[in-house]
Structure 1
Amino acid sequence: MAHTTAPVTSSVPAPSPSESPRLDLDAYLARIGWSGRREASAETLRSVHRAHIQGIPFENVQPVLGSAPSLALDDLQAKLVRSRRGGYCFEHNTLFAAVLEALGFGVTRLAARVRVGAQGAVRPRTHMLLLVDVPGESRQYLADVGFGSIGGLLEAIPLTAGSEVHHGGRTHRLVREPHQGLEDLWVLQAFQEGAWSDQYAFTREPFEPADYEVINWHVATNPRSPFQHTLYAQRTTPEAHLALAGHVLVITRADGTREKRELTDPAELRRVLDSDFGIELPESARLEF
């Protein structure tokens, strides 16, 4: 079993903003309400990460309606930046990677096996996440604005095993796990209800956009994928985390209290998506209830 922890050089060098002509950085930062200094620092990474999480919702409306969302940057900006819509991990993290590179960070795109609810089963790598190099720092950071779940990261955290990170009422850590590969697995854990809970496991092997095209199509169109049959929406605010699964809404407040209720009809579902999640559905969208 390998136990190396040496930093991996980013597979994609950080370009200057002029090398990302299709990215409207001003529009993106306005969308997430961020107006800090545009410099590639750890503070900027954490701050923009949190603003993205709180500014753009998680949702899988497009797969439920029968198609895989486009991962082309122009399409992502039209949907996540210029419209009152959200997306899931491939959309969020593809956009966020472009933003980080435009700001001067180095980014390696990774894929993870989700463990939430897996009960020991080995799932395929169906989650996109990012490994970020900060200029002038030897350590790398794990960034992930597309997990959606309350167990997901609010801010980027150092890629360091064993250290607890507290941010915005959430507590996380990364642990190493033996694995028959070039290095041990990295496992993201969240401290929930008095215990550590695995969120997902990954290695630092770089993935390419073509890989995500295949995984995205599988997640969106495979008849066995829950994303094709059940509507999921998540939104994190400073006051609470909102999670919608089908027609069941769960609100977890900052003090840990939870409220659960069932929506009554498609009209209420549309209203809740609009007012509570910030998701404005096309008039032609017809979601089964």
Structure 2
Amino acid sequence: MLSQSDLQSYLKRVGLATTGPVQAPGLQPQGPTLNLLRQIQKHQLLSIPYENLSLHWRPVHTTDTTIPGPSFVSPPFDLSNESLVQKLILHCRGGYCLELNCLLGAALQALGFSVVRVTARIVCGFEVLSERLASERAGALTEDQIRETETFSSDESGWETHQMLLVSLLPTNGSDREEYLVDVGLAKYSILEPIALSSSFSLVGTEYQGVMGKRFRISPAGGSGDRWNLSVRFPGSRIWFPYYTFAAKAADPAQIANIHYYMSMSPSSTSPPEPFATMPRNDGAGQVTLQGLTLTMEEREQGSEKERRIFCY
């Protein structure tokens, strides 16, 4: 978890700190609450951008002149609290999913929440989702194809390269323990509020707000009772596109370290493949995105979307 001084810096970075000792809204005197969790998640999402720039422009970590060209013998940054505070808070940078969610998890733990890191397997990347949405809007999908599009594969194999958080609230008045999926590392698909996990499945089908009018919902994956699927629906679409699948259990720290090493070192790890940075604005109703050398500003007003390209090389 973050130290108290780092927590104070974090709260200032996301626009929630007051002067003096740490006093986040909703924290005192009742302790961690769902309202506080919502505020922290949304404020970080609207304050710290998603970006993969460090995955593209990496410092050389060796002086061995016998090796031709740049050589990277270790990731140029790590997931320690010290590195995350240095990069995302003190240097006002952004990060990719592991960095953003690890920082959020450390802050939530310092605020008294119970936090577990979990990993997920992305079943549809940005490009695939865009293609399928375009097919729907062009009227190129039959009803059978739509049902097939919405279906998650029963194959659970494949490497889980995404990391997010399960955050628990302590039970009150004899109630059951409340557990929520929290994820601020989905770039242009980010979720603006915690998603409740219910062992009774009573909340299955509930829709949750995402940036730019997107909606999310969670459903049991079948088989073991701790596996879940996350789907996304775009504005104006009636299709729930599969996005990722995950088991609601703590990930092995070594697995997270391996994911980070792969993302930091592999030339084919980044998605999209070019330098990318994005952040919601206007409380999630707008988006500013740099992809390659193209800067785009998107706005959503009264159900319609507007896109303006500021610079395109």
Q: TM-score category by the smaller chain?
A: 0.7 to 0.9
Aligned-residue offset at 1:222: 1.5
Could you tell me which residue of structure 2 aligns to residue 49 of structure 1?
41
How far apart, CA to CA, are the structure 2 residues paired with 1:23 and 1:189? Answer: 38
Q: Aligned Cα RMSD in Å? A: 2.5
Could you tell me which residue of structure 2 aligns to residue 131 of structure 1?
166
2:206 aligned with 1:163: yes
Checking the alignment, whether the CA contact within 8 Å between 2:278 and 2:290 is kept in structure 1 is yes
2:290 aligned with 1:244: yes
- 1:182-221 matches, cutoff 5 A: 182-183=224-225, 185-192=227-234, 193-194=236-237, 195-221=239-265
Change (3 A) 1:167 1:211: closer
Could you tell me which residue of structure 1 aligns to residue 183 of structure 2?
144
Aligned to 2:161, what secondary structure does the other structure show? Answer: strand
Residue type of the partner of 1:24?
A: D
2:128 aligned with 1:86: no
How far apart, CA to CA, are the structure 2 residues paired with 1:245 and 1:58? Answer: 12
Structure 1 unaligned spans of 5+: 1-18, 266-289
How far apart, CA to CA, are the structure 2 residues paired with 1:226 and 1:45? Answer: 29
Could you tell me which residue of structure 1 aligns to residue 115 of structure 2?
107
CA deviation vs aligned residue, 1:160-215 (integer Å, no higher than 9, x gap): 42212246644221012235xx3363111222041222221111121143321110
CA deviation vs aligned residue, 1:244-284 (integer Å, no higher than 9, x gap): 3222344331324131537345xxxxxxxxxxxxxxxxxxx
- For normalisation by structure 1, the TM-score amounts to 0.76
Change (3 A) 1:69 1:230: farther
Checking the alignment, whether the CA contact within 8 Å between 2:294 and 2:312 is kept in structure 1 is no
204-213 or 91-100: bigger deviation: 204-213
Structure 1 residue aligned with 2:51, among 44, 56, 59?
Answer: 59
How far apart, CA to CA, are the structure 2 residues paired with 1:240 and 1:163? Answer: 24
Could you tell me which residue of structure 1 aligns to residue 147 of structure 2?
none
Query: Which of the two has higher C-alpha Rg?
Result: 2
Residue type of the partner of 1:152?
A: S
- For normalisation by structure 2, the TM-score amounts to 0.70
Say how many residue pairs are matched. Answer: 244
How far apart, CA to CA, are the structure 2 residues paired with 1:228 and 1:162? Answer: 30
Aligned to 2:298, what secondary structure does the other structure show? Answer: strand
How far apart, CA to CA, are the structure 2 residues paired with 1:170 and 1:259? Answer: 16
Q: Identity over the aligned pairs, expressed in percent?
A: 29
Structure 2 unaligned spans of 5+: 18-24, 59-74, 130-152, 198-202
